[in-house]
Chain A
């Protein structure tokens, strides 16, 4: 059975304090790993897709990396507007995604 876990469950950072979020997965035949951002009361917003181990993607203060067992979302010098829940999902066989429970990030000014 495909599984995705995320850690930590919640993270509080001071503005400018860099950190990383973890997404660990167990799937048979990874076809894609996806990162989303979700603000309260809204739908998830797509951030990155990673397809193979060693791949990296960057967008502003965010960088996503992928290994054979996990992905990291690195946040460099975060700002309060980066506060959100970050979701990780995998696509294995077929078209369906399996989502992790998310990491709730708070960045304090």
Chain B
């Protein structure tokens, strides 16, 4: 199993540009999520999905879109990049069964917006 994979690892954008961060998992997990990590602020939830075709907003959703057409993939789209979106982005997934399960994280994408 590759677990959770993310591409690209690094990205530099100019203000106003758009891009998609890719995330895929091969563990057949129903729940997937996107976080951003900024110094001193911990991981903050951007969007999440509890299954294919179902997405919802987290704590900091503005400026980001997501879709979930398959169980495996959960891309994050930046519509018009702003310097405030400079951050490290992590995708995660977990089982959504009847218990309470840990999330597994990808290696992250470091994004710089100039």
A contact residues around B45 at 8 Å (CB): 96-97
Chain B contacts to A: CB under 8 angstroms: 4, 31, 33, 35, 40-45, 48, 50, 58, 90, 92, 94, 96, 100-108
Contact B42 A32 (CB under 8 A): no
**Residues of A bordering B, CB below 8 Å:** 4, 31-32, 34, 36, 41-46, 49, 51, 87, 89, 91, 95-97, 99-102
CA distance A68 to B68 in the complex (A): 36
> What residues of B have a CB within 8 angstroms of the CB of A89 in the complex?
43
Known contacts A43-B106, A44-B105, A96-B33; A31/B90 CB under 8 A = no
Contacts A44-B90, A95-B96, A96-B58: A102 and B42 contacting too (C-beta < 8 A)? yes
Q: How far is the CB of A49 from chain B (nearest CB, A)?
A: 6
**Separation of A44 and B106 alpha carbons in the complex (Å):** 8
